[in-house]
Amino acid sequence: MPVTALAVRRPSVSARCLPHLVFMVAAVGTLVRLFELNNELCWRIAPPTAALALLYAAGLARWNRLDRWAQPAWLGLLMLLWSWVAWNLPAQLAFGYAWLAVPLAVLALRMPTRAAAAMALGSLTALLVAALLRAGGGFDADVLAPPVAALWATVFLYHAQQQLARELTAARGELAQQQREAGRLAERARIARDLHDTLAQELSGSRMLLQAAERDWDRRPDIARRQVRSVTGALGEHLAQTRGIIDDLTPPLLARDGLEAALRDLCARTGSVAGSPGITFRTEREPCSLRTDQAVALLRVAQGVLANACEHARARHVRVTLTYGDAGSAAIEVLDDGVGFGPTALQPPGTGRGFGLAAARDRLGVFGGTLTIDSTPGQGTRVLAALQANYRIPVSAR
């Protein structure tokens, strides 16, 4: 099952602040109208209206510090102030002021318990209806319906948003689990490829040298001892490679001196083994900076291709070329003059390799790279491993 990225975004800051902005605008607008009227009643109502706005802002600023009892008490005091002002306002101001019930409903929905939220919403609805009945001088559906409908539409939209948030959270958890599982499987495959391209290749060569030393031990002891010494030196390198696998699969030389130095050392060590073809190494264009994981991928692919050329191609000469491109782009070409193979075989038959060139393609594919193979029986083989610049690894492959 493909794993696709699922973005779960929280409401923006502007969306979260919108109800509070509406409250403050309505409260301040009411104060301005009261000052414009400039009569005794208005000056009596203005201080509670200003206190309502200040109390609202102070409670929001300290919301996270209010405990589960302080939050309902704060909302109750806000509702008392709001209802008193709404009851005493002149009719021409009361209708607009009544809409403050909608931001108060948003606060009611944030109460710590369902019981407190339900009690606050019920009380708020009753107070709103009473204020509108007084302002309108009696029952008028056109006056009552819009504010009450807006209040309860806010409630239903809030619950729908909460349900959607829960579903998105569950989906995000499932996606994270799938990504962890995909990452675990990818990591297993990556470690298997690295073990194949490092220890398996090197141990196979050491085994061949020890077998040759056993055959030559009696007849040519000097050659046998030299082969044993080569194996001993190689085992030290095996140990370093093993430590490199442990240290995020990064060879020490590559981490210290870069890809070019690591490839040069690889070609020198591989060509020094008895019976190996002559191996030359060169670089083209100015070096560019590669990420460590990209450089490791190219080095491991080159190591595997070189091992195939030395053990199965029966080549006399192998040329390895590192070509740098744009920033983050590089390619390695391995060209041998061996026996080659036909187009129907991706690797020589009978090698018993479980990974080989297919594993190299997988390794490069993680970085958007390609592996091109050109081979004709009797005319050698050309393998080109290339990584493109500025490729972003998909989330599911990390």
pLDDT in tens, 60-89: 778 777 777 888 888 888 888 888 887 777
pTM over 0.85: no
Q: Which of 139, 158, 185 is the last residue of a domain?
A: 139
Same domain, 189 and 86: no
Cα–Cα distance for residue pair 66/321, rounded to 1 Å: 68
Which pLDDT does position 142 carry in this prediction?
67
75 and 209, same structural domain? Answer: no
Reply yes or no on whether the pLDDT at 13 is more than 90.
no
Q: Is 320 inside a domain boundary?
A: yes
Give the model's pLDDT for residue 322.
93
Copy the structure tokens of residue 322: 């590192």
Q: Where do runs of H (alpha helix) occur along 285-388? A: 292-311, 356-365
Answer whether residue 393 shows pLDDT above 60.
no
Is residue 168 in some structural domain?
no
pLDDT confidence bin for 391, thresholds 50/70/90: low
Same-domain status, 222 and 324: yes
Structural domain includes residue 396: no
Among the ranges given (154-163, 248-257, 318-327, 370-379), the one the predictor scored with the smallest mean pLDDT: 248-257
pLDDT over 50 (residue 383): yes
Q: Is the pLDDT of residue 357 over 50?
A: yes
| 127 and 236 inside one domain | no
Residue 325: per-residue pLDDT: 82
Q: What mean pLDDT is reported for the chain?
A: 76
**86 and 197 share a domain?**
no
Position 395 scores a pLDDT of 40
Model confidence pLDDT, tens digit, residues 89-117: 777 677 767 777 778 888 888 788 888 88
User: How many helices, marked H, and strands, marked E, lie in the chain?
Assistant: 13, 5
- Would you place residue 229 in the very low, low, confident or very high pLDDT band (cuts 50, 70, 90)? confident
The predicted-structure confidence for 132-181, as pLDDT tens digits, reads as follows: 777 766 776 766 777 778 788 878 887 787 788 888 888 887 876 776 67
Share above pLDDT 70 across residues of the chain, in percent, rounded to a whole number: 77
Give the strand order in the sheet containing 370-375: 278-284, 317-324, 330-336, 381-387, 370-375
Per the structure, how many domains does the chain have? 2
The reply to whether 218 and 359 lie within a common domain is yes
Tokens of residue 178, six digits: 């799938």
pLDDT > 70? residue 127: yes
Higher pLDDT among residues 374 and 274, named by residue: 374
- State which of 139, 166, 198 marks the end of a domain: 139
Query: Does residue 146 fall inside a structural domain?
Result: no
Average pLDDT over residues 245-265: 76
Boundary-marking domain end, from 118, 139, 160: 139
Angle at 246 between CA 280 and CA 252, to 5 degrees: 35
Strand partners, 319: 280, 335
pLDDT at 49 over 90: no
Q: Which residues touch 338 (CB under 8 Å, ≥6 apart)?
A: 277, 309, 312, 313, 314, 315, 316, 380, 381
Check residues 10 and 200 and name the one with the higher pLDDT. Answer: 200
Residue 236 has, within 13 A of its CA and on its CB side, a CA count of: 6
Q: Looking at the structure, tell me whether residues 134 and 181 fall in a common domain.
A: no
Q: What is the pLDDT of residues 270-319, one digit of tens each?
A: 888 777 889 999 998 888 778 888 888 888 889 888 888 888 888 889 99
Can you give the residue range of the structural domain that contains 301? 176-391
Task: Give 326-354 pLDDT, tens digit per residue.
Answer: 766 889 999 999 888 876 555 444 343 43
